[in-house]
Amino acid sequence: MFAHKKHFTNAIIGALVALSIIALVLSLVDIEDVTLPPTVKYGMVFDAGSSHTSLFVYEWDSDKENNTGVVSQTLSCEVQGQGISSYANDPPKAGDSLRECLDKALKVVPAAKQRDVPAYLGATAGMRLLREQNSSVADQVLAEVAKTMREYPVAFKGAQILTGEEEGAYGWITINYLLDSFTKYSPKAHTWVRPEAANILGALDLGGASTQISFMPRSSVINWNDTSKLTLYGYNYNIYTHSYLCYGQNEMLKRLAKELIVESFSSTRIDHPCYPKDYNETVSLSSFRTSPCTNQSDPRLTHDDRNVTLEGRGNASGCLAAIKKLFNFSACSQSQDCTFDGVYQPPVSGQFIAFSAFYYNFKFLNLTEGQSLATVRETIKHFCTRSWEDLSSSYPEENRERLPKYCANANYILTLLLDAYKFNETSWNNIFFQMKAGRADIGWTLGYMLNLTNMIPAEAPVRMKGHVPSLWAAAVTFIVLTLALGLAALLLLLWV
């Protein structure tokens, strides 16, 4: 009996030792840190453009902040009415115009997080023009915008006017961030790495009052005033970026109309080669004095308030020729490192994303699927010859103010890309017209927020490892030790 009890006791002691060893091994397993699910953070940015304002709400996991910041777009809201610069004569309305979108934003952001949401407003070329024209009024408009945003339970960070170069650089950041050019997640390494063959894309932005080009040139840049030096994820980027004020499509159309009128000043009926045949538009000569882009008019327009009628002629070649006159190409003296008006630019290189009005105009013409330059030219030429009656019946749902202007806009895009920026038959195939990457809109706002919230670090991300047991390992260890204690208690009872 005693021998049997002794063998039984030894067996139990052996089992205890084995279970203890198992528990010890499990507690030392090298497993990645396990933390509670990260909380979601939010940010919002108003894009206050020359023709309209949009609000974008973004979200990201808090554990990515100051590491890689995987940001997704939660909301896009179009503010009703024109851009905030249009409220120069009634600044309080600029602030009031934002309320509807702010109310929508608060519906997608949990109430408990709202007061921590960084909120920004960035104004672009429309406000740059207003500041040139009347800086005190521009300040009043921004003050009213800020006043409205402070009424909402968000962390308002300010309303400011971006420089053209900032707008270009932020758009460049947005594109390369969304398309994983800077860094991408590696499931194998459990961290973020720079793609082996990083394809850094250029950015082409066309707004209502300005246009921007931003890219990494192959050679060194001579004019450092047009260079932005950025350090992102531990890598240095020197990008060329330049903004052309008064070369946005709306200001271009005003300048085109003014030049056509000046050429035939004595007449009250002016031929417009870009407008469809049988389409007429009446404009007041006083309207050209409202913008710095057109108020440098012929002296005869200074005090002339007559109305004149622009009569469409549907002349494709005449339209292209009239638009080319808006550029001073002779200032470059055939230099390949010059665009127009004597502006320096290194030769374009790499692939480009063309967004905003570049995309919207070509999307309307069904030219965003990688068509050849020859096809693009032929499509635009044919469209420009169609009559107003034909266009009106073919596109009954299209905005009646935009429809007659697609011919001029498309020819302007061709002139800007080919004659000014110097893309050619070959490099044309490196331009991709798109407005979204995944579910996010392409534009400067995401890059702006990423920069101001430090979501893109200058340093490369560091992968952290540890010897902390996982929840599963801890649970198993707990069960094993519980069994060990139970067996010890049983042994004690048998011994007694």
The answer to whether the CB of 466 falls within 8 A of the CB of 32 is yes
Q: Which of 165, 167, 398, 401 is catalytic?
A: 167
Question: How many domains does the chain contain in total?
Answer: 3
Beta strands in 207-359 (DSSP E): 210-215, 227-232, 235-245, 269-272, 280-284, 307-312, 352-356
Beta strands 440-441 and 235-245 are unpaired
Give the residue carrying structure tokens 């740059």.
128
Q: Same domain for 210 and 143?
A: no
The answer to whether the CB of 194 falls within 8 A of the CB of 183 is yes
* Domain presence at residue 322: yes
Burial class of residue 68, CB neighbours in 10 A (0-12, 13-18, 19+): buried
* Domain presence at residue 261: yes
Burial class of residue 237, CB neighbours in 10 A (0-12, 13-18, 19+): middle
Q: Same domain for 206 and 296?
A: yes
The packing angle between helices 373-384 and 406-414, to 10°, is 150
CATH of residue 180: 3.30.420.40
Q: What is the pLDDT of residue 473?
A: 46
Q: Same domain for 177 and 319?
A: no
Q: What is the pLDDT of residue 467?
A: 41
Q: Same domain for 187 and 80?
A: yes
Q: What is the pLDDT of residue 414?
A: 98
The answer to whether the CB of 431 falls within 8 A of the CB of 354 is yes
Query: Residue 299 sits in which domain range?
Result: 200-433
Q: Quick one: tokens of 490?
A: 């049983």
CB atoms closer than 10 angstroms to residue 69: 21
The answer to whether the CB of 285 falls within 8 A of the CB of 265 is no
Helix (H) or strand (E) holding 227: strand 227-232
Q: Same domain for 101 and 230?
A: no
CA distance 395 to 215: 36
Sign of CA dihedral 346, 347, 353, 359: positive
Helix/strand/coil for 333:
coil
Q: Same domain for 265 and 306?
A: yes
CATH of residue 297: 3.30.420.150
Question: Of 125, 118, 117, 75, which is closest to residue 100 (Cα–Cα)?
Answer: 75
* Domain presence at residue 180: yes
Beta strands 71-78 and 235-245 are unpaired
Q: Same domain for 21 and 47?
A: no
* Domain presence at residue 457: no
* Domain presence at residue 459: no
Q: Same domain for 56 and 176?
A: yes
Q: What is the pLDDT of residue 71?
A: 87
pLDDT means over runs of 10, the chain (496 residues): 54 56 49 57 96 95 61 95 96 98 97 96 97 97 98 97 96 93 72 72 97 91 75 85 97 96 90 98 92 80 88 98 96 87 93 98 98 98 98 96 98 98 96 94 94 77 46 49 56 53
Give the residue carrying structure tokens 């209502």.
208
> Is 167 an active-site residue?
yes
* Domain presence at residue 130: yes
Give the residue carrying structure tokens 């302007």.
412
* Domain presence at residue 347: yes
Q: Same domain for 187 and 247?
A: no
Q: Same domain for 224 and 158?
A: no
Q: Same domain for 29 and 44?
A: no
Question: Of 298, 125, 281, which is closest to residue 211 (Cα–Cα)?
Answer: 125
Q: Same domain for 235 and 256?
A: yes
* Domain presence at residue 391: yes
